[in-house]
């Protein structure tokens, strides 16, 4: 089991990091008291159902946070496999972020309302944890999407898995696909609906696919779609997108759209991209 402890300076991006971890399959808990970390780790191991766990603990816990060293020592003494991710940023950036959000720093009272003093105090308190950390990310000049990419690079075995693609078909007569990121209208191609022996079949049937793809334009369109996706998918990944929905629409959602959804789905699967497929309207109107 991967057991990850996330800590660091307030305003350094811990929430963004744990959201990124949740997107790639970690079971995540935010703001856990250090005393509960060993117990929670044991529960996770005994349950045998969690293989990736991440917890955030920081100075929001007040005096309880000072027992973090003891919690980490307990994990080490009992042979529990764990690692620490420490997030940091330059003082001026942390202060700017707090001013922009108008949130109160966890050490505001102890620092008598001085944000700079609060940052200085927190940095001093976290010194030993920073030195013990297995991973370190400085978010001073890092956007949220870049932080996601860093987290994926550190904790995802296959970076391609950071983006899940859903391919779907639909019929325009039942309404366009409103959830999709990319919508391709394939009504420009000859319609098998008007071929009597194909009318009641779908793009899942080989003779329907053969009819659609025997036209030269259909093959050219597939090639251009593949080129476009080869260009776009890495860009979506680099921006931190975790789900991409690609939809193909035809009149009834049974023939041409299903054919293209299946072709593109298989193309993506063959590139080891995490992908799923659905045919929204394939059974309607029968």
Q: Which helix (H) or strand (E) holds 256?
A: helix 256-269
Distance in angstroms (rounded) separating the CA atoms of residues 198 and 204: 11
Are residues 262 and 134 both part of a single domain?
A: no
Domain tally for the chain?
Answer: 2
69 pLDDT higher than 90: no
For residue 286, what pLDDT band results from cuts at 50, 70 and 90? Answer: low
Are residues 126 and 176 both part of a single domain?
A: no
Question: Could you report the per-residue pLDDT of 156-214, keeping only the tens digit for each?
Answer: 877 666 688 999 999 999 988 877 899 999 999 999 999 999 999 999 999 999 999 99
CA angle 117, 123, 129 (to 5 degrees): 155
Distance in angstroms (rounded) separating the CA atoms of residues 107 and 119: 8
Average pLDDT of the chain, as a whole number: 89
Residue 230 belongs to some domain of the structure: yes
Residue 182 belongs to some domain of the structure: yes
Look up the pTM and report it.
Answer: 0.64
Comparison of pLDDT for 217 and 100, the residue scoring more:
217
Percent of the chain with pLDDT over 70: 98
Residue 284 belongs to some domain of the structure: no
Of 140, 157, 174, which one is at a domain's C-terminal end? 157
Of 157, 178, 205, which one is at a domain's C-terminal end? 157
For residue 131, what pLDDT band results from cuts at 50, 70 and 90? Answer: confident
User: Residue 160 in 3-state DSSP?
Assistant: helix
243 pLDDT higher than 90: no
Range of the structural domain that residue 65 is part of? 2-157
Question: Could you report the per-residue pLDDT of 17-34, keeping only the tens digit for each?
Answer: 999 999 888 999 999 988
Are residues 41 and 144 both part of a single domain?
A: yes
Of 142, 157, 172, which one is at a domain's C-terminal end? 157
């Amino acid at each position: 089991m991967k057991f990850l402890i996330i800590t660091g300076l307030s305003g350094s991006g811990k929430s963004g990091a744990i959201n990124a971890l949740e997107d790639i399959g970690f079971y995540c808990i935010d703001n856990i008291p250090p005393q509960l970390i060993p117990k929670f780790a044991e529960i996770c191991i005994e349950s045998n159902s969690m293989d990736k766990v991440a917890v955030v603990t920081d100075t929001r816990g007040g005096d309880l946070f000072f027992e973090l060293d003891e919690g980490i020592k307990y994990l080490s003494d009992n042979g529990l496999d764990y690692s620490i991710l420490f997030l940091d940023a330059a003082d001026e950036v942390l202060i700017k972020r707090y001013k922009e959000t108008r949130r109160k720093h966890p050490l505001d009272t102890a620092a008598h309302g001085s944000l700079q003093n609060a940052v200085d105090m927190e940095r001093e308190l976290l010194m030993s944890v920073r030195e013990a950390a297995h991973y370190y990310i400085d978010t001073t000049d890092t956007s949220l999407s870049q932080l996601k990419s860093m987290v994926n690079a550190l904790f995802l075995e296959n970076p391609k898995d950071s983006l899940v693609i859903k391919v779907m078909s639909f019929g325009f007569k039942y309404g366009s696909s409103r959830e999709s990121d990319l919508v391709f209208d394939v009504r420009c191609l000859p319609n098998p609906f008007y071929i009597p022996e194909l009318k009641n079949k779908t793009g899942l049937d080989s003779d329907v696919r053969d009819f659609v793809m025997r036209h030269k334009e259909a093959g050219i369109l597939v090639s251009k779609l593949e080129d476009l996706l080869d260009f776009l998918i890495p860009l979506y990944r680099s921006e931190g997108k975790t789900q991409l929905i690609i939809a193909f629409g035809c009149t009834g959602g049974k023939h041409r759209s299903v054919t293209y959804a299946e072709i593109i789905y298989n193309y993506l699967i063959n590139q080891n991209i995490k992908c799923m497929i659905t045919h929204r309207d394939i059974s309607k109107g029968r």
